[in-house]
């Protein structure tokens, strides 16, 4: 059963990307309520049908209270607020405004607003230990964790035309073992001349096709490095295969396996390629900006240790998903437990008009939903039950479903004014998925474990 709950959280993460904790809490409290009903003698299947009906009422109510926002109005304010809400409960909440800004910029720059879709493959999140969380930044281009192969090569290449190579930059090695005897200086000179000739042809091929930057998957020795430097060809070596493909896609270049195949058409183009130095440790990274045909962006996340960086990466993923959901469906519902309480009140109202035995399970569903506002109040250091009762009373008296738990103790309970809200799709998905899993678990009659068999 624990495994089912983990899978439930995973499917919410896969589908929506945010709200994974809430869905598990919801499912857990529904099961808890179901247990008390079973003890009263109500059959599990009746509970399941009651839950199903209650879920429909809840989803309908959540969709009713949703407000449609204009996501592009005044500098994408709605998207920023939603991303800030998603980051508010995470470890990085101290820097939520800055990270929300980064996440909104990243998603909007790769979003296809006509099709209302976002391709997450174009957002690359690079983590770098060292520095502060505030140093995290959005770079409009691709970041490669490498530096130029020669320290004296120029640090910035403007209007770059790059040759992307997967062939080693060295003379070919014979496959068989052989021994070469050099008796005189002339022989040595001939050998040296031959080797130089290889390098010259290779560099000539690069020069002829008009490249002014070489990106190579393999290494090259000092000889080649020196020649490249003399010919004013900045080069990067040991670039990984995945990064190479990303660079090729973004710059519109082709990956070239042999020097003979280099042509001007196969070169990738970018506005600038520059080397950035991070922190005091002189860690270098290459940034490829203004790529020819792609909107790829990279978020560089900094942090004091690996754990902070990983955590920040995960939180950014959640915020990105939240922004994407709003681009897909611009309806928002209140956070702060307000939408759960509104749904809970409408279920209780529906249960009162229900004549069958389902009314009990519907009320239980409503009680289960109250767990979320209670948990929020408790985490904010308020008295859980008192705060929730006050909010419910306020929602009923004012008929405004946007009143929620005032976690920040600002004195305002209206979540719209506090700008705490999340995507409507996320909340509806949470309710539906949690109900389905609980129904599934209720249909399990008995669990036979191997330990029971051994005892018998």
Q: What is the model's pLDDT at position 455? A: 58
All residues at 6 or more sequence positions from 146 whose CB lies less than 8 Å from its CB, including other chains:
236, 237, 238, 239, 284, 285, 286
Tokens of 71: 């996501």
- Phi and psi dihedrals of 238, rounded to 5? 55, 45
Q: What is the model's pLDDT at position 452? A: 61
Task: For 28-80, write each residue's pLDDT tens digit.
Answer: 888 888 888 888 888 888 888 888 888 888 888 888 888 887 777 666 777 77
Highest mean pLDDT among 17-21, 261-265, 357-361, 444-448: 357-361
Answer whether 362's CB lies under 8 Å from 354's CB: yes
Q: Stretch 334-363: mean pLDDT, rounded?
A: 85
pLDDT score of 279 more than 70 = no
pLDDT score of 456 more than 60 = no
All residues at 6 or more sequence positions from 137 whose CB lies less than 8 Å from its CB, including other chains:
102, 299, 300
Q: What is the model's pLDDT at position 451? A: 67
């Amino acid at each position: 059963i624990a495994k089912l709950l983990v899978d439930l959280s995973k499917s919410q993460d896969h589908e929506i990307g945010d709200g994974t904790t809430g869905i598990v809490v919801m499912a857990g409290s529904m099961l808890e309520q179901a247990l008390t009903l079973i003890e009263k003698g109500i059959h599990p299947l009746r509970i399941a049908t009651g839950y199903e009906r209650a879920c429909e009422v809840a989803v309908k109510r959540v969709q009713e209270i949703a407000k449609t926002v204009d996501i592009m109005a005044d500098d994408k304010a709605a998207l920023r607020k939603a991303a800030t809400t998603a980051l508010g409960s995470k470890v990085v909440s101290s820097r939520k405004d800055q990270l929300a800004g980064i996440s909104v910029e990243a998603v909007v720059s790769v979003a296809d607003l006509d099709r209302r879709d976002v391709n997450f493959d174009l957002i690359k999140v690079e983590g770098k230990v060292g520095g502060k969380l505030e140093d995290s930044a959005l770079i409009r281009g691709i970041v490669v964790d490498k530096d130029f192969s020669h320290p004296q090569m120029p640090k910035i290449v403007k209007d770059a035309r790059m040759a992307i190579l997967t062939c080693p930059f060295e003379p070919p090695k014979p496959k068989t073992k052989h021994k070469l005897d050099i008796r005189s200086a002339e022989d040595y000179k001939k050998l040296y001349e031959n080797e130089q000739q290889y390098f010259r042809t290779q560099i000539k091929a690069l020069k002829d096709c008009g490249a002014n930057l070489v990106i190579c998957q393999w290494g090259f020795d000092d000889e080649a490095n020196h020649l490249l430097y003399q010919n004013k060809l900045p080069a990067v070596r040991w670039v990984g295969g995945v990064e190479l493909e990303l660079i090729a896609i973004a710059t519109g270049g082709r990956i070239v396996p042999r020097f003979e195949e280099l042509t001007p058409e196969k070169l990738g183009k970018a506005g600038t390629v520059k080397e950035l130095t991070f922190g005091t440790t002189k860690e270098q990274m290459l940034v490829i900006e203004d790529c020819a045909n792609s909107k790829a962006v990279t978020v560089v996340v900094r942090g004091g240790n690996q754990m902070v960086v990983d955590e920040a990466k995960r939180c950014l993923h959640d915020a990105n998903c939240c922004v994407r959901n709003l681009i897909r469906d611009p309806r928002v519902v209140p956070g702060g437990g307000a939408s759960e309480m509104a749904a809970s009140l409408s279920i209780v109202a529906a249960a009162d008009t229900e004549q069958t035995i389902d009314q009990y399970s519907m009320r239980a569903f409503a009680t289960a939903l109250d767990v979320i506002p209670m948990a929020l109040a408790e985490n904010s250091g308020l008295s859980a039950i008192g705060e929730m009762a006050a909010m419910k009373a306020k929602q009923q008296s004012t008929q405004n479903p946007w009143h929620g738990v005032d976690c920040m103790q600002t004195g305002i309970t209206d979540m719209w004014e506090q700008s705490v809200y999340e995507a409507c799709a996320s909340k509806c998905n949470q309710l539906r998925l949690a109900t389905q899993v609980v129904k599934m678990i209720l249909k399990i009659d008995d669990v036979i474990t191997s330990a029971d068999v051994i005892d018998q």
